[in-house]
Structure 1
Amino acid sequence: MKSFDPNLTNYFSKKTIKLTFQQWDYKGTAYVEIGGNTTFTDLLSEFEDADTLVELLKESTSKLDFEFKDLGEDEFEEKWYRANLLNDKGEVCECEDWTESLPEMLVAIELVDVQREDK
């Protein structure tokens, strides 16, 4: 981000956040947008919640450079997801696991843009 206006935290603003997921040398990046009158630090706890992460990744405004699919619940009411991460060689690591484990793959959270929302 070239410049950060701290005054925007006092207004409704659209924050673009870069999320990096990783296992071994396989990575995936998602850019998600979150609006409202919240600071970036207020949002950090949101990324610990697996259900919130899944919903953010499924948003139509989110841009992902990897495949992600919410697989829903199994017969035991456990929620599942599938993510295909890539390494630098273009090789794929298919990750399929309980949704609860998704925050464990989140290795970086970066605020990349903030824009004031017009009412």
Structure 2
Amino acid sequence: MANLGYWQMKVSPGVWYLQLAPGRSADLYELPPKLITIDSLRGKLMHIEVQKRKGKEHEDLLNAADDNNFQEKMDNKGWNSNLLKWASSFIIGNASSNKDEEITALKDARQGETINIFSVASGHLLNWEIM
């Protein structure tokens, strides 16, 4: 969530120090140190301004190099993932599946309009949550 611009805070009232999570977002953007006071569980609207670091103005947050390394990431999965694929293909009888076709299908699935979905847990169990 941090890399897509969403952020969450603990819902407990108190004083919290707000900063960018380590990673690409912290490499590209700077956020002045900020203390946030939460005094109720009603929610609070805050305007937080970040700015791009000098020299990084034209870099994208979501790097295209991540997609280029997709094949490498698929190849570097652990031995248990390969074992499960082998057992699955043995049981189902689909041992002739082509790995390149699977990767192409996964890449195609990522194209199109992006819909960001997130939720915030209240930390309080309601009657319907307990059932």
TM-score range, shorter chain: under 0.3
Tell me which of the two structures has the higher relative contact order, counting C-alpha pairs closer than 8 angstroms and 6 or more residues apart. 1
**TM-score, reference length from structure 2:** 0.23
User: Which entry has the higher C-alpha Rg, 1 or 2?
Assistant: 2
**TM-score, reference length from structure 1:** 0.25
Kindly indicate which of the two structures has a greater share of residues assigned to helix: 2
Kindly indicate which of the two structures has a greater share of residues assigned to strand: 1
